[in-house]
């Protein structure tokens, strides 16, 4: 037995380790570089009301900024969760209505309920680009200082809300 | 691999007027071909038909019209989407192993080959079995 | 009915594979000839059973049997019949069954041609193949059964992914799998050599044709995949360094290294343990490819729908197969190592250099493919590794390899002589002329790197011709192996020229056009005449008509389409139109409508792109010629006379 004949085996073990860890990761999920940075500046007309929504509204108190659209199927999935969060009232929920027609968006909110304090209309997706949005729905957590502290890509789940989101919000509110 | 040469640009100048005005289409292409689309993830924004890729192409075009440099446009993208959007990974400590790995492999391979040309030490006496002897005989048939 | 029969066939196959694996190994251990003899009929039976299962699944597709979940997911009553057959391997489960069919086919082929092998060698090879079959059959039965029933029969199928509804799909996966799985034969021979602790000239003669055959199929499979992506994905790309492409390319690189090290081992007895290691690695990389494509650890354009439990299964199987093989190698590898000294400046020295470059290239592709995963596993923000990185690292490693080919003809076995280099003067001159003149045909291709790569491509071509001529002078009929080698190297030169020119001088434009608009690009006038609705068997489309002319003469009329398949109306497909030419392709795709009759149109001028696939085809034909060389068949019968069954009769051969 000679040592160099063991080298391939060593390489293989390293490979298997990496692949094994890789199985637990989601390759589609891209960490946002915005976490820990100030929320991007924007000003958007409100959906279904007069006025503007800006990043200053988000930083008045810890807030959720939820990217949604009437054409987005996965948004239906998280809608009941958003409604429940709105009902509990312990978090301020704002919406970014991404590349949507206002009449479709309003019809959806009228039909399924409106969980948002307000939604800004990002019709050309420019604010979405500034926020690094690449798939709807996405949810940002913004703290009192106006810093983005977390981002969820894809629909919210009860597990995520209970195990990560609510504890995080509690921490931010103290 | 698409590179832009000054004179290519000159050669193509007549076609640019018919394309969208004002920007160097080759530069636009080489830039967008190295930006990864986050929606379909395995296409560049030059190739992808996804709506976000269309938006980002528009963005790049506008920034080029505004006279921004390639580096500025790439920075704009990484500020929003992270290094993930760059198909050419930036050189930083995290990617040193990536950039220098292949040449390290080559060096190691060449050294190993150089050493291999001499025989490893001759088989130790205890290793010799009837089979080894027979093998040697077979080889010298 | 079909489901029950299919389940039964798969279960029976698993039983037969267990017999094929266990009984011969037991026979080897106990030196029992009867047990050894079981391997051959077991391998043939396994093939027949799997073929039956495959036919059953095909019938289910032809009869639109939507009681099967797999059929309901991957077919549709509107799907044309040829695509219904191709749909058998259009999804994960069916493609695994195809893989298994190939594996059983290769095993049966070894059994059929194995009459000339010593009984114990044949039995061991088939037992190893049986072991691999067990893994895949268990995988199919427990996680990916194509005969799984739906709780209620679906009234209509969900349809085959429209991207896959293309003639390319009919042929690309079978070729690719033939290649992947073909390396299992070389792998089985390698394990046999380790188990028996002997690797001699006969072993090398048995292994070479199987390796060459597998390599031929893999070359064809990869080239077809590239061609399919080029005309189906609608962005004019022929290679994207996508993880799935890399997954097929890594075994190809190592398989190519194996072909060359087999030659050096056979001629000069050098590099033997290295050859065995390469044979293990080529198959290990095939398995790794399966894992990467089907586990979902990496994102890819053409990955299958993935499922983590499958990933765990394949990773476990991969670890067992490759881990035990490498452990065996670590334990017994030194026994087959041949302590033969050799000079660097000799044919075998250059073949070793060839191996170093190819293996480093394969490691580079592996590094680039897995690096994002590695960083992600460390919990850091992952980078993307795309074609710019691969072009900067892979290409500089490969160019010296192309240069080396022409040199290797001039350097003899044992020791090269510098005088021989006089033979290279004429080919070198022709190569330089070729390399400097080709860019004149292609605007935009004049740069130092292009000239260098073209000269090297030309060098591979001219030296291959010169070598063939030299052999023709030496003997009136050179062997198929020699002709195959020259042809493959010639093909590599053609390929290099194609890649160089299309990568550096292609032109693409993404523009807004209205009917009647004309655009001048690359010396051609591209005129959009009209965009009209048309209907296909299972889709509706907008079809554009584009006339391409040069100096007023019509060159081509192209009909690109934007298709909307009725089963998936929200997923429009871009169907490009291509005018094929020896020195250029003209490629048009309709991107998206912009309103008021205007379309976003993509125009591509692709110089010399056909040379890529022609080159690959020549390489494959070369591999095929080498695989069928008369010497290997002759070698077999000699082996039987010369070495015979003495191994089985000798006690201690397995100790």
- Asked if A99's CB is within 8 angstroms of B39's CB, the reply is no
Residue C447: predicted pLDDT: 86
Whether omega for the bond prior to residue C518 falls within 30 degrees of 0, making it cis, is: no
C-alpha–C-alpha distance, residues A5 and C573, integer Å: 51
Instruction: Give the sign of the dihedral formed by CA C217, CA C220, CA C226, CA C232.
Output: negative
Segment C338-397, tens digit of pLDDT = 777 788 888 888 999 999 999 999 999 999 999 999 998 888 888 899 999 999 999 999
Chain C residues in contact with B35 (beta carbon < 8 A): none
C183-241 pLDDT tens trace? 999 999 999 999 998 888 888 988 999 999 999 999 999 999 999 889 887 778 899 89
Kindly calculate the radius of gyration of chain A based on its CA atoms and give it in whole angstroms. 20
Nearest to A18 among C326, C327, C374 (CB): C374
A88 in reach of chain C (CB within 8 A): no
Q: What is the ipTM of this complex?
A: 0.85
Q: What is the predicted pLDDT for the residue at B69?
A: 92
Residue contact B52–A34, C-beta within 8 A: no
Residue pair C161/C567 in contact (Cβ under 8 Å)? The answer is no
Question: What average pLDDT does chain A have?
Answer: 88
Strands A138-142 and A118-122: unpaired
From residue C638, give the alpha-carbon distance in Å to each of A77, B43, C201, C270, C635: 70, 54, 11, 22, 5
- In total, the C-beta contacts within 8 angstroms joining chain A to chain B are 38
Handedness of CA B64, B69, B73, B79 (dihedral sign): negative
Q: Which of B38, B59, B120 comes nearest A134 by C-beta?
A: B38
Number of neighbouring beta carbons within 10 Å of residue B7: 11
Q: What confidence score (pLDDT) does residue C4 get?
A: 92
Which pLDDT score is estimated for C549?
94
**B117 CA: distance to closest CA in chain C (Å):** 5
Q: Per the CB < 8 Å rule, is A1 touching C330?
A: yes
Q: What sign has the CA pseudo-torsion C443, C448, C454, C455?
A: positive
- Residues of chain B in contact with residue C234, where contact means CB-CB under 8 angstroms, are 49
State whether A1 and C334 contact (CB < 8 Å).
yes
The residue of chain C nearest to residue A28, with distances taken between CA atoms, is C299
Q: Pick from B2, B36, B46: which is nearest to C384 by CB?
A: B36
- B residues 52..111 contacting C (CB < 8 A): 54, 57, 82-90, 94-95, 97-99, 101-103, 105-106, 109-110
For residues A12-21, give the mean pLDDT.
Answer: 92
Interchain pair A33, B78: CB under 8 A: yes
Tell me which of C76-80, C448-452, C610-614 is least confident: C76-80
Residues of chain A found within 8 Å of residue B84, distances taken between Cβ atoms: 30-31
Tell me the chain C residues in contact with residue A18 when contact means C-beta distances shorter than 8 Å: 370, 373-374, 377
Mutation site, B35, B36, B37, B38, interface A, largest A CB count within 10 A: B38
Pick from A30, A125, A131: CB nearest B84:
A30
Q: Residues C101, C50: contact at Cβ < 8 Å?
A: yes
Q: How many separate helices (H) and strands (E) can be counted in chain C? A: 20, 10
Chain C residues bordering chain A (beta-carbon distance below 8 Å): 273, 277, 280-281, 284, 288, 291, 295-299, 308, 311-312, 315, 318-319, 322-323, 326-327, 329-331, 333-334, 370, 372-374, 376-377, 381-382
Give all chains having 3 or more CB-to-CB distances under 8 Å with chain C. Answer: A, B
Q: pLDDT digit string (tens) for C264-318? A: 988 888 888 899 999 999 999 999 988 888 877 777 655 565 567 788 899 999 9
- Mean pLDDT rounded to a whole number for chain C: 89
Which of the four pLDDT bands, split at 50, 70 and 90, describes residue C629? confident
User: Nearest-CA neighbor of A125 among B29, B23, C572, B53?
Assistant: B53
- Residue C330's closest chain A neighbor by CA? A5
- Least CB-CB distance to A130: which of B38, B80, B82? B80
- Residue window 84-103, chain B: list those with CB within 8 Å of chain A: 84
Pairing of strands C577-579, C573-575: unpaired
pLDDT digits (tens, 9 = 90+) for B109-140: 999 888 877 654 444 444 445 556 566 566 65
Low-confidence ranges of chain B (pLDDT < 50): 1-19, 120-128
Residue of A nearest to B124 (CA): A1
> Quick check: A125 and B55 CB within 8 A?
yes
- Residue A46 backbone dihedrals phi, psi, to 5 degrees: -75, 150
Q: Which chains touch B (3 or more CB pairs under 8 A)?
A: A, C
């Amino acid at each position: 037995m000679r040592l160099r004949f063991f080298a391939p085996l060593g390489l293989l073990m390293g490979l298997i380790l990496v692949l094994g860890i890789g199985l637990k990761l989601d390759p589609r999920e891209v960490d946002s570089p915005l976490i820990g940075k100030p929320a991007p500046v924007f000003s958007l007309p409100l959906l279904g009301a007069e006025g503007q929504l800006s990043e200053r509204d988000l930083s008045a108190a810890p807030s959720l900024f939820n990217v949604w659209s009437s054409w987005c199927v996965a948004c239906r999935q998280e809608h009941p969760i958003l409604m429940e969060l709105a009902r509990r009232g312990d978090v301020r929920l704002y919406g970014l209505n991404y590349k949507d027609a206002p009449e479709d968006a309003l019809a959806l909110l009228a039909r399924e309920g409106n969980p948002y304090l307000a939604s800004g209309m990002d019709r050309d997706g420019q604010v979405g680009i500034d926020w690094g949005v690449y798939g709807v729905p996405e949810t940002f957590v913004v703290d009192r200082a106006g810093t983005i502290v977390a981002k969820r890509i894809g629909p919210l789940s009860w597990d995520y809300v209970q195990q990560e989101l609510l504890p995080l919000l509690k921490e931010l509110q103290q | 691999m698409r590179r832009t040469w000054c004179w290519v640009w000159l050669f193509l100048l007549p076609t640019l007027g018919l394309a969208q005005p004002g920007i160097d289409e080759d530069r636009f292409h080489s830039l967008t071909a190295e930006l990864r689309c986050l929606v379909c993830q395995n296409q560049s924004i030059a190739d992808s038909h996804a709506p976000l890729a269309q938006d980002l192409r528009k963005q790049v075009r506008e920034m080029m019209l505004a006279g921004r440099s390639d580096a500025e446009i790439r920075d704009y993208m990484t500020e929003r989407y992270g290094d993930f959007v760059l198909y050419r990974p930036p050189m930083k400590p995290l990617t040193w192993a990536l950039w220098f790995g292949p040449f390290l492999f080559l060096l190691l391979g060449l050294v190993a080959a150089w050493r291999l040309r001499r025989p490893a030490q001759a088989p130790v006496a205890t290793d010799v079995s009837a089979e080894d002897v027979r093998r040697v005989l077979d080889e010298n048939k | 009915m079909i489901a029950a029969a299919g389940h039964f066939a798969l279960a029976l196959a698993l039983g037969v594979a267990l017999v094929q694996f266990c009984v011969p190994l037991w026979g080897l251990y106990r030196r029992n000839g009867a047990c050894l003899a079981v391997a051959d009929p077991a391998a043939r039976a396994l093939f027949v059973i799997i073929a039956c299962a495959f036919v059953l699944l095909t019938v289910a597709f032809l009869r639109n049997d939507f009681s099967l979940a797999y059929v309901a997911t991957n077919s549709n009553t509107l799907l044309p019949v040829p695509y219904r057959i191709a749909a058998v391997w259009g999804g994960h489960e069916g493609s695994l069954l195809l893989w298994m069919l190939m594996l059983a086919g290769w095993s049966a082929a070894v059994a059929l041609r194995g009459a000339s092998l010593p009984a114990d060698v044949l039995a061991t090879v088939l037992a190893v193949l049986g072991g691999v079959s067990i893994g895949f059959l268990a995988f199919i039965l427990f996680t990916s059964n194509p005969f799984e029933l739906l709780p209620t029969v679906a009234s209509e199928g969900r349809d085959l992914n429209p991207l896959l509804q293309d003639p390319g799909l009919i042929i690309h996966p079978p070729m690719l799998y033939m290649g992947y799985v073909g390396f299992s034969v070389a792998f089985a021979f390698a394990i046999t050599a380790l188990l028996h602790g002997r690797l001699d000239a006969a072993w090398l003669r048995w292994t070479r044709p199987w390796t060459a055959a597998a390599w031929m199929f893999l070359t064809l499979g990869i080239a077809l995949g590239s061609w399919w992506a080029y005309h189906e994905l609608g962005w004019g790309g022929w290679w994207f360094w996508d993880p799935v492409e890399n997954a097929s390319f890594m075994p190809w690189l190592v398989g190519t290294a194996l072909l060359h090290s087999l030659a050096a081992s056979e001629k000069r007895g050098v590099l033997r343990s290295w050859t065995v290691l390469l044979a293990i690695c080529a198959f290990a990389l095939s398995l790794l490819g399966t894992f990467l494509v089907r586990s979902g650890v990496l994102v890819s354009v053409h990955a299958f729908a993935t499922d983590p439990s499958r990933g765990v299964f394949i990773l476990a199987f991969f670890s067992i197969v490759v881990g035990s093989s490498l452990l065996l190698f670590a334990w017994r590898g030194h026994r087959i190592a041949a302590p033969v000294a050799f000079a660097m400046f000799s044919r075998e020295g250059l073949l070793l250099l060839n191996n170093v470059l190819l293996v480093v290239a394969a490691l580079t592709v592996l590094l680039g493919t897995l690096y994002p995963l590695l960083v992600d596993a460390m919990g850091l923000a992952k980078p993307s590794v795309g074609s710019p990185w691969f072009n900067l690292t892979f290409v500089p490693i490969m160019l010296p390899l192309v240069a080396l080919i022409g040199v290797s003809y001039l350097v003899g076995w044992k020791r090269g002589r510098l005088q021989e280099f006089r033979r290279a003067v004429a080919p070198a001159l022709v190569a330089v002329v070729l390399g400097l003149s080709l860019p004149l045909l292609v605007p935009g291709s004049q740069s130092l790197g292009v000239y260098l790569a073209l000269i090297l491509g030309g060098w591979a071509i001219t030296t291959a011709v010169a070598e063939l001529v030299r052999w023709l002078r030496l003997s009136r009929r050179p062997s198929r192996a020699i002709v195959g080698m020259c042809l493959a190297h010639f093909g590599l030169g053609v390929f290099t020229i194609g890649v160089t020119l299309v990568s550096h001088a292609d032109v693409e434009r993404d523009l807004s056009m209205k009917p009647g608009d004309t655009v001048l690009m690359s010396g051609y006038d591209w005129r959009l005449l009209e965009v009209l609705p048309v209907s296909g068997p299972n889709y509706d489309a907008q079809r554009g008509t584009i006339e391409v002319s040069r100096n007023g003469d019509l060159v081509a009329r192209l009909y690109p389409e934007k298709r909307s398949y009725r089963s998936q109306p929200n997923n429009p497909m871009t169907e490009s139109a291509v005018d094929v030419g020896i020195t250029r392709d003209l490629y048009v795709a309709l991107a998206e409508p912009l309103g008021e009759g205007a379309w976003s149109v993509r125009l591509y001028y692709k110089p010399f792109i056909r040379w890529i696939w022609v080159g690959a085809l020549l390489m494959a034909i070369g591999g095929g010629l080498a695989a069928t060389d008369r010497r290997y068949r002759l070698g077999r019968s000699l082996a039987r006379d010369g070495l015979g069954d003495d191994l089985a009769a000798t006690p201690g051969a397995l100790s």
